[in-house]
Amino acid sequence: MSKSLTVTLPDGSRRSLPPGSSAMDLAATLGRRLAADAVAAAVDGQLVDLSRPLPDGATVAIVTADSDEGRAVLRHSTAHVLAQAVCTLWPGARYALGPAIADGFYYDFELPDGARFSDDDLVRIEAEMRRIIAEDQPFTREELDPEQARALFADQPYKREVIDAVTAGDPSAPPEAAADAQAGERLSVYRNGSAFVDLCRGPHVPSTGRLGHFALQRVAGAYWRGDEHRPQLQRVYGTAWESAEALQAHLDRLAEAERRDHRRLGQELDLFSFPAEVGPGLVLFHPRGGTVRRLMEEDARRTHERAGYHMVYSPHVTKQDLFARSGHLETFAESMYPPMELDEGQRYYLKPMNCPFHILVYRSRQRSYRELPLRLFELGTVYRYEKSGVVHGLTRVRGMTQDDAHVFCTREQMAGELEGILRLALGTLRDYGLADFYVELSTRPEGKALGTDQEWEEATAALAAAASAVGLETVLDEGGGAFYGPKVSVQVRDAIGRHWQVSTVQLDFQLPRRFELEYVGPDNARHRPVMIHRALFGSVERFLGILLEHTAGHLPTWLAPVQAAVLPVRDDHQGYAERVHSTLAGAGIRVELDPATEPLGARIRRRRLERVPYVLVVGQQDQEAGTVGVNRRGVEQPERDVPLDRLLDELVEEGLR
């Protein structure tokens, strides 16, 4: 028997340990601080518990609580403590799934006798969780065969369903099931002390005492396996971090995000609403919101005209055959609205995409290589039947207007077009004050992709090269491409550090083949064009929601629905205020007059809350000198005695596009 085992560390160095040594033993040899911070280990790339014996020859990395992987372990372990607390407080509760998620965790429950969680219950649950943590209960792993596991969870139907799905290799098993149980002949379970057991792949922290920096946040409804025809469970959300400081920083970010929530800003600034009578995910733009949207769309048209695009328009509905030929009906049907039967049984669909229509524009006549690249642009409204539980303000809607374009070009033109599109996208984002971004490259999806491996490799390489040419950091998104081709998406970081997907570019060799698109080349032979799908905003609605949250409602002056407000100090200054208003309006400034019907301070405060960039106060001295007092947004002290013509030049320069 060997007297030692040898493992390789991430830096390539090797350590010898006694046989049977665990990852925790290894961490102890590397330093007391590392051992104290360790929560799991990566053994040959697989996360395992610190207590797991190490195999000889393995490559081992110690995972600490302040890493992304370590936080996921903390959060999953805290989710188990949450489930234990609920089962203690509500004997007979059924528990479903409780994964770690971005910045937190959740667990789904069905309480006995139809009981519902209240806000006060969250306080009780959190107190019980802290009691469990204080007991420092060890997490211990066991492996069972399927029948043993079914017997163990005899009173937990959701766990039994997971066991059946995973052991059967059911492809329809939810992703959460694959994440929470180990497929194969044996299943793993974890116990917290002797009080609670859960079906789980792991790993977990060594004991509950390693936890504690957490907060429960809210309760929401969640259908079992995301199916609205299955039972609706109660989902408790929480967050957990490696330290009190990290937890507090996250809670502060959440508070700031709530302050910036575009749904609240939309109501406060009277931009848009979502009436229940209209339906989930369908937005009504009010006059001020309509102004912002109009300005965005006009700017998009000008940008595309300057870049050599041609405006087209397409209908909102079309026959089924078009989407059958494009492949959308086969791969996208679940996200499409149900068909309408018209014209003696002919099926029509609301369009989920604009691309098949642009293909028909290209195919409407024979094309020559001299016409390429042909760039077609449309502000096209599309409809997607998102589940009502996932619609979210402007950022997840059922009806959206895309600044959608499709470029038809030769293989030789492809690289230049891709690079030009990315430069156009980045310039557009910078125009709106979004300047911190990177690119995500999404590759071939499993199972449903059209085309050959060689075509996908060529398309993916071309997109990667274009991203590199414009100097963008690229992150790989394995399997995230569309069914017809890979894509790059520009991810922006907003003012509080969140990532948003905005502009997308997809390279497509497949739809030109499906629709038999051709052009006549200089050799007088017929050739197949390449098709590039791209959107700069993504959609007008989503982009506006992102912009509102990024700016906290302080839209750039050129985009603000009201750019200036004129406030006379007293009634006898009304006439001069009207002349100022008329002068600004005549120069194209969006200006409102706020008569002296209430105290001046109250009017100034209201206009500041409305995020008006310029609040102009005119009094007796201004009336005599032809000046105004200027309260600039974001500037604490007003500027007095500003000549009207100087202010007008400033407003025109900043406020017009």
Please give the full DSSP string across 378-403, using - where no structure is assigned: EEEEEE----TTT-BTTTB-SEEEEE
Q: Whose structure tokens read 């609580």?
A: 65
Taking a C-beta distance cutoff of 8 angstroms, is the pair 569, 617 a contact?
Answer: yes
pLDDT of residue 172: 61
May I ask the CATH class of domain 69-257?
alpha beta
Question: Which of 198, 404, 494, 508 is the catalytic position?
Answer: 404
User: Which tens digit of pLDDT belongs to each residue from 50-79?
Assistant: 999 999 999 999 999 999 999 999 999 999
CA distance linking residue 510 with residue 458, whole number of Å: 13
Distances (CA, A) of 315 to 113, 139, 200, 208, 353: 51, 59, 50, 59, 11
Collect all residues with Cβ–Cβ distance below 8 Å to 63 and sequence separation of at least 6: 38, 39, 40, 41, 42, 47, 69, 70, 73
Question: Which is the catalytic residue, given 52, 75, 398, 406?
Answer: 406
Residue 92 φ/ψ, nearest 5 degrees: 90, 0
Nearest to 165 by CA among 155, 179, 154, 152: 179
Tell me: pLDDT of 592 over 90.
yes
Q: State the CB neighbour count (10 A cutoff) for residue 582.
A: 13
Q: Which positions ≥6 away from 186 have C-beta within 8 Å?
A: 143, 144, 145
Give the model confidence (pLDDT) of 385-408 as tens digits.
988 778 999 999 999 999 999 999
pLDDT at 609 over 60: yes
Pick the catalytic residue from 71, 94, 210, 384.
384
Cα–Cα distance for residue pair 539/379, rounded to 1 Å: 9
Q: Give every strand in the sheet of 60-64, ordered side by side.
A: 46-48, 38-43, 60-64
For residue 136, what is the DSSP state?
A: T
State pTM to two decimals. 0.85
Q: Assign residue 536 a region (left: φ > 0; alpha: ψ between -120 and 50; beta: otherwise).
A: alpha
Which of 210, 260, 533, 607 is catalytic? The answer is 533
Query: Residue 266, CB half-sphere, CA atoms under 13 Å: how many?
Result: 26
Binding residues: 355, 406, 533
Catalytic residue among 75, 358, 444, 487: 487
The answer on pLDDT for 176 being more than 50 is no
On whether the CB atoms of residues 273 and 283 are closer than 8 A, the answer is yes
For range 117-125, the mean pLDDT: 93
pLDDT at 179: 47
Question: What percent of the chain is predicted at pLDDT more than 90?
Answer: 82
Return d(Cα 46, Cα 132) in angstroms, integer.
28
Out of 260, 355, 398, 581, pick the active-site residue. Answer: 355
Q: Is 406 a catalytic residue?
A: yes
Known catalytic residue: 499? no
Name the one residue in this structure whose structure tokens are 């069905």. Answer: 110
Q: Quick check: 509 and 517 in contact, CB under 8 A?
A: no
Residue 317 pLDDT greater than 70, yes or no: yes
- Class of residue 508 by CB neighbours under 10 A (exposed 0-12, middle 13-18, buried 19+): buried
Q: What kind and span of H or E run contains 545?
A: helix 540-551
Phi, psi dihedral angles at 494 (to 5 degrees): -90, -175
Alpha-carbon span 576 to 578, nearest angstrom: 5
Residues placed in the known binding site for Zn(2+): 355, 406, 533
Query: Could you give the CA distance from residue 204 to residue 32 in angstroms, rounded to a whole number?
Result: 20
Q: How many CA atoms lie within 13 A of 45 on its CB side?
A: 0
Question: What single-letter DSSP state applies at residue 568?
Answer: E
Q: pLDDT band for position 344 (50/70/90)?
A: confident
**What pLDDT is attached to residue 178?**
45
pLDDT band, very low/low/confident/very high, at 38 (cuts 50, 70, 90):
very high
- Give Cα separations from 75 to 34, 238, 507 (angstroms): 20, 9, 38
- Residue 329 CA to residue 347 CA, distance in Å, equals 12
Confidence at residue 232, expressed as pLDDT on a 0 to 100 scale: 93
Encode pLDDT of 538-559 as tens digits. 999 999 999 999 999 999 999 9
Q: Please state the domain extents for the chain.
A: 5-64, 69-257, 272-551, 564-655
- Whole-number Å distance between alpha carbons of 319 and 341: 10
| CA max distance for the chain | 102
148 confidence band (pLDDT: 50, 70, 90): very high
DSSP string of 460-525, one letter each residue: HHHHHHHHHHTT--EEEETT-SBTTB-EEEEEEE-TTS-EEEEEEEEEESHHHHHTT--EE-TTS-
Q: Are strands 499-508 and 487-493 parallel, antiparallel or unpaired?
A: antiparallel
For 537, the token pair is: 């905003």
pLDDT tier for residue 171 given thresholds of 50, 70 and 90: low
- CA angle in degrees (0–180, nearest 5) for 380-381-386: 135
Mean pLDDT of 147-163: 93
* Catalytic annotation present for 413: no
Is residue 1 scored above 80 in pLDDT? no
Exactly one of 84, 156, 234, 402 is catalytic; name it: 402
Q: Is the pLDDT of residue 119 over 90?
A: no
Please indicate whether residue 404 is annotated as part of the active site: yes
Task: Tell which CATH classification among 3.40.50.1820, 3.30.930.10, 2.30.42.10, 3.40.640.10 matches the domain 272-551.
Answer: 3.30.930.10
Helix (H), strand (E) at residue 300: helix 287-306
Please state, in angstroms and rounded to a whole number, the distance separating the CA atoms of residues 74 and 66.
10
CATH number of 564-655: 3.40.50.800
Residue 506: Cβ within 10 Å count? 22
CA distance 639 to 507: 53
How many angstroms separate the Cα of 566 from the Cα of each of 591, 603, 641? 7, 10, 14
Q: Higher pLDDT residue, 274 or 328?
A: 274
Q: Is 358 a catalytic residue?
A: no
**Using the 8-state DSSP alphabet, how is residue 185 labeled?**
S
Provide the pLDDT for residue 226: 80
Is 571 annotated in the active site? no
User: What is the mean predicted confidence (pLDDT) over 328-346?
Assistant: 88
pLDDT-derived band at 184 (thresholds 50, 70, 90) equals low
First to last CA, the chain: 79
Do the domains at 5-64 and 69-257 have one common CATH topology?
Answer: no
DSSP 20-82: T-BHHHHHHHH-HHHHHHEEEEEETTEEE-TTSBPPTT-BEEEEETTSHHHHHHHHHHHHHHH
Burial class (CB in 10 A: 0-12, 13-18, 19+), 369: middle
Mean pLDDT taken over the chain: 92
Do the beta carbons of residue 410 and residue 530 sit within 8 Å?
A: yes
Q: Could you give the dihedral angle defined by the CA atoms of residues 389, 394, 399 and 404, in that order, rounded to the nearest 10 degrees?
A: -130
Q: Does residue 635 have a pLDDT over 60? A: yes
* Known catalytic membership, residue 487: yes
Mean pLDDT, rounded, for 204-227? 93
Residue type for position 324: A
CATH of 5-64, one of 3.40.50.800, 3.10.20.30, 3.40.220.10, 1.20.140.10: 3.10.20.30
Task: Please give the average per-residue pLDDT across 106-130, as a whole number.
Answer: 94
Locate 111 and state its tokens: 């309480």
